[in-house]
Amino acid sequence: MKRGIRSPAILLGFAFVGWAFCAAIMGVLPPLIGMNAALVVHLIAGPIAFALLALAYQRRVGDYPPLTAAVVFVAFVIVVDFLLVALVILRDLAMFRSVVGTWIPFLLIFLASWGAGAWGRRRIQNTEYRRQETEWKRR
């Protein structure tokens, strides 16, 4: 389903919004509620945010299929976490030793993005098919 000019910048913009949301959680919450509680919030809220972003992307833009969008989302998060957070801000790669803080969220972000994007795309295709079917019946 092609609806417009493929724009990697738009897809990366959606990925940035998701990453910024997760970064805000991990930047703001640990001093307020403790690191363990912040990790739990991040583990739950991050994938939900990316699922909503994937759904919005497929509904509004949809230039790339759900699997591609999910790969771009998680790749963006991994690259920015490595280059900006680990190397520049923390100056330490210890965050990548945390399964709960890093690897499980990466996996869940991928799965949630892919699943929500695929569901959203299927709904769009079904709606478009029903619309065309109704038009054919009217003729």
pLDDT at 1: 46
pLDDT at 88: 97
In whole angstroms, give the CA distance from residue 134 to residue 131.
Answer: 5
Q: Could you report the per-residue pLDDT of 14-63, keeping only the tens digit for each?
A: 999 999 999 999 999 999 999 999 999 999 999 999 999 999 999 998 88
Residue 108 within any structural domain of the chain: yes
Residue 21: exposure state from Cβ atoms within 10 A (0-12, 13-18, ≥19) = middle
Q: At what angle do helices 35-60 and 8-33 cross, to 10 degrees?
A: 160
Residue 2 within any structural domain of the chain: no
In this structure, which amino acid lies at residue 64? Y
Residue 48 within any structural domain of the chain: yes
Residue 28 within any structural domain of the chain: yes
Residue 123 within any structural domain of the chain: yes
Residue 133 within any structural domain of the chain: yes
pLDDT at 126: 76
Number of domains composing the chain: 1
Residue 76 within any structural domain of the chain: yes
User: What Rg, from alpha-carbon coordinates, does the chain have?
Assistant: 18
Range of the domain at 120: 8-138
pLDDT at 106 over 60: yes
pLDDT at 136 over 80: no
